[in-house]
Amino acid sequence: MKTIGKINRIIKERELLKSRNLTIGFVPTMGYLHNGHISLVRKAKSISDRVIVSIFINPIQFGKNEDLSKYPRSLESDKKKLDEEKVDILFYPSQNEMYKDRITKVSAIKHRPILCEKTRPDHFDGVLTVVAKLFNIISPDFAFFGEKDFQQLFLVTKMTKDLNFNLKIIPCPIVREKDKLAMSSRNVYLSSKERSEAPIIYNTLLYAKKLFVEGVEPKKIEEIAKKLIEENSSGKVDYIKIYDGKTLDEVSENSRDYRIFAAVWFGKTRLIDNIRVIK
Ligand code: PAF
């Protein structure tokens, strides 16, 4: 695997691949790779001729109260994992390389302040800005995003269409630990008590899904789920919400495809998860 930190060098590599008519699959990450990331890499390998992974801890998607300096890092073991998966190129740029003299950002103008946007204002502007840059730098044919960060996947898919990026976004299913906790780089922050309690998120989503299928009102389900989590664990619910899974609009009679979303604080760690419901 080649590791490249400079934008002009990776553009040369990409042009070489394109001149040979090879398709590029791209997996953007912030490192500290777990099996969720590896599932994206494997999917990328299965449908692309060459795979490029980026590791860049993107400072502009962290809020003022979110500790960027404490975000977990593990470059050497990440490289080893990517090597084992036979990734072709790791793009590992510095902050300076990505953002020196930047005066531009990409922003979703009509996105309602719901779900994570409400708790993390500006977060998605940071995500969209870096993803747009990475798409321009790598020029992939396919880009792979996990469904755990569903709002991110939704906004990146919209941006790709709105800004006419010539690539296909491939959504990939959530990967879970044995006890069904969704895999996340942030799970490492949990104390052993919090870690043992955290699967309550998915179990509650399963219960909420059952209620929703039975016809219980979304507002009522959101209340029941919050109570369940807060009365049976140390978790504090940031949100439990049900939205149309295609548009992220409020639940309406016209839709059949929904998602139930949860964000729960365990101590200082905020975990997110979601589940699809077809009605
Ligand atoms: O999901 C992530 O790890 C990040 O938000 C992403 C897409 C790599 C952008 O920094």
From ligand 1's centre to the CA of 134, what distance in Å? 11
Distance 54 CA to ligand 1 centre (A): 10
Whole-number Å distance, alpha carbon 57 to ligand 1 midpoint, is 8
Q: For position 102, what pLDDT does the model report?
A: 96
How far is the centre of ligand 1, averaged over its atoms, from the C-alpha of 128 (Å)?
A: 9
Q: Is 111 a catalytic residue?
A: no
- Distance of CA 218 from the midpoint of ligand 1 (Å): 30
pLDDT per position as a tens digit, 169-217: 999 999 999 999 999 999 999 999 999 999 999 999 999 999 999 999 9
Residue ID of nearest Cα to ligand 1 atom 8: 29
Q: Is 180 helix (H, G, I), strand (E, B) or coil?
A: coil
pLDDT-derived band at 241, boundaries 50, 70, 90: very high
Tell the residue nearest (CA) to atom 9 of ligand 1.
Answer: 127
Which residue's alpha carbon is nearest to atom 2 within ligand 1? 29
* Cα–Cα dist 87/145, whole Å: 17
pLDDT tens for each residue of 74-92: 999 999 999 999 999 999 9
What is the predicted pLDDT for the residue at 214?
97
Q: Which residues contact 181 (CB under 8 A, 6 or more apart)?
A: 187, 195, 198, 199, 201, 202, 271
Closest atom of ligand 1 relative to the 28 alpha carbon: 8
* Across 84-93, 152-161, 249-258, least confident range: 249-258
- The pLDDT of 139-163, averaged and rounded, is 98
Best residue for ligand 1 mutational test, from 57, 73, 131 (most atoms within 8 Å of Cβ): 131
**pLDDT the model gives residue 66:** 86
pLDDT at 110: 76
- b (16+ CB within 10 A) / e for 95-109: eeebeeeeeeebebe
Whether the predicted model's global pTM rises above the 0.85 cut: yes
Q: How far apart are the first and last CA of the chain?
A: 45
Residues with CB under 6 Å of ligand 1 are: 28-30, 58, 61, 127, 130-131, 149, 152
In ligand 1, which atom is closest to the CA atom of 185?
3
pLDDT band of 44, cuts 50, 70, 90: very high
Q: Of the listed 34, 37, 111, 123, which one is catalytic?
A: 37
Q: Backbone phi, then psi, for 226, in 5-degree steps?
A: -60, -45
Residue 137's H or E segment, with its range, is helix 123-138
Ligand 1 atom nearest to CA at 127: 9
